[in-house]
Amino acid sequence: MDNLSLILHVFAATLIVGPQILLFFAVVPATWIIEDEQLKRAVTRVVTQRYGMMAGLALVISLVTGLYQFYNVTPDSVTEDMTSFRFGWIFITKMTLFTVFVGLVAFHAVIGRRIGRLADAVVAGEGDERALDNQRRTSFMLSALMMFIAIAILVFGVLLGRGEFSYVAS
């Protein structure tokens, strides 16, 4: 069960981070060349909804398997007094970043809905294109921050998994 949990945990991380990098560096910039606002909105909606469903499931899987790893794989001597080991500060940092990441995902979803409303208004001839561009720019910068945080979470996860490093007394 320990190996299955680790495999699922790593798989969930790849489902979050890999597509996030693809969206940031390829998909979103590709939408910039779509001049038809309605088409741009439709393409963005399909991609973000599908990624959102996948990433949401992956977040749940990573949380469940991470808890399993903590309670069943990490040595009791480490979990009972985490701060006496490198594991403690790595784990606390990773969990803090994970919490921030989930919060940013929720905030990004709010911005996404706002962009949708602004885009619909622009298509209807009633919206402010400058406000829409500003929200898209905010979304893109938030995506960059989320991507870097997700990569940092991966790095801390690797450090946690290396017992010869993380189980050393600090």
> pLDDT (tens digit, 9 = 90+) per residue, 33-57?
999 989 998 999 999 999 999 999 9
Q: Report the predicted TM-score, pTM, of the whole model to 2 decimal places.
A: 0.90
Token digits for 59? 């977040």
- Residues 5-22 have pLDDT tens digits of 999 999 999 999 999 999
- Residue 162 CB coordination number (10 Å): 11
Q: Where are the domains of the chain?
A: 2-166
Task: Place 25 in a pLDDT band, splitting at 50, 70 and 90.
Answer: very high
- Residues 134-169 have pLDDT tens digits of 999 999 999 999 999 999 999 999 999 998 999 999
